[in-house]
Amino acid sequence: MSVQSRVDKVLENYGLAKRDKLIPILQDIQEEEGFISRSSVLKVAKHLGIPASKVYGVATFYNQFRFEAIGTNHVMVCRGTACHVKGSASVLQMAEEVLGIKAGQTTRDGMFSIETVACMGACGLAPVISINGEFHAKITAEKLKKLIEEIRNREKSNGAK
């Protein structure tokens, strides 16, 4: 299915929607496409009958919305207080170093992306990260490096097949 029709399909679910459905619509689009594209913003604006600037304003206000595609392996680093006290800054630094990108970016091959989150709510097991939704507790910079290398090797051998 093409990208265009996926957005249209989301909008179909919100037939006679008003402004209060704006955030749920954007969330659904991001769920489908992985990010909010320029054309999606325009479509949503038209659908709800509000200026595109307002849609864009809302989308950029909230941390959840992305405007760039994420990598196949999405690394989320928790930067909550407990994680910070337990050294999440060095974990983030290591992730950025190993992958050669900054938080919020995606590697050129589209294999990895990094995102920081305010708090994942697993403070008892700090520091935590999640890769594609799977949590890794009590992570250290070294452990993370290993994890990333494992994924890289796996992807490589998959690619070779």
Partner 1 sequence: MAQNNDIIEKNLSAVPASVRKSFLVRAFGSEDYAEKAASLRRETLKKPVIYVGAGTCGMAAGAGKTLEAAREYLKANKIDADIVEVGCIGYCAAEPLLDVQLPGRARVSFQSATGDVTAKLLDSVFKDEAPLKDNVLGQFEDGGKKWPKLPMFNEHPFFRKQMRFVLKNCGIVDPLSIEEYISRGGYGAFLNVIHTMTPAQVCDGVIASGLRGRGGGGFPTGKKWSVALAQQSDQKYIVCNADEGDPGAFMDRAVIEGDAHRVLEGIAVGAYAIGASKAYVYIRAEYPLAVKNLKRAIDQAKSYGLLGENIYGSGFDLDVIVKMGAGAFVCGEETALLNSIEGRRGMPKPRPPYPAVKGLFGKPTVINNVETFANIPEILTRGFDAFAAIGTKGSKGTKVFALSGKVNRTGLVEIPMGTTLREIVFDIGGGIEHGLAFKAVQIGGPSGGCISQANIDIEVDYESLKTVGAIMGSGGLVVMDEKTCMVDVAKYFMEFIKKESCGKCIPCREGTMRMLSILKTITRSRKGESAKDTLSRFQGVMELENLAQVIKETSLCGLGQTAPNPVLSTLRWFRDEYEAHIFDRKCPAGACTEMLEFSIDQNKCKGCTMCAKGCPTQAIVGKPKLPHYIVAEKCISCGNCRTVCKFKAVTAA
Q: Which residues bind partner 1 (CB under 8 A)?
A: 18-24, 26-27, 57-58, 61-65, 79-86, 117-126, 128, 133, 135-137, 141
Residue closer to partner 1 by CB (options 59, 101) is 59
CB of 54 vs partner 1, minimal distance in Å:
8
CB of 144 vs partner 1, minimal distance in Å:
13
Residue closer to partner 1 by CB (options 5, 60) is 60
Residue closer to partner 1 by CB (options 34, 111) is 34
Residue closer to partner 1 by CB (options 89, 111) is 89
Judged on CB neighbours under 10 Å (0-12, 13-18, 19+), 52 is middle
CB of 137 vs partner 1, minimal distance in Å:
4
CB of 112 vs partner 1, minimal distance in Å:
20
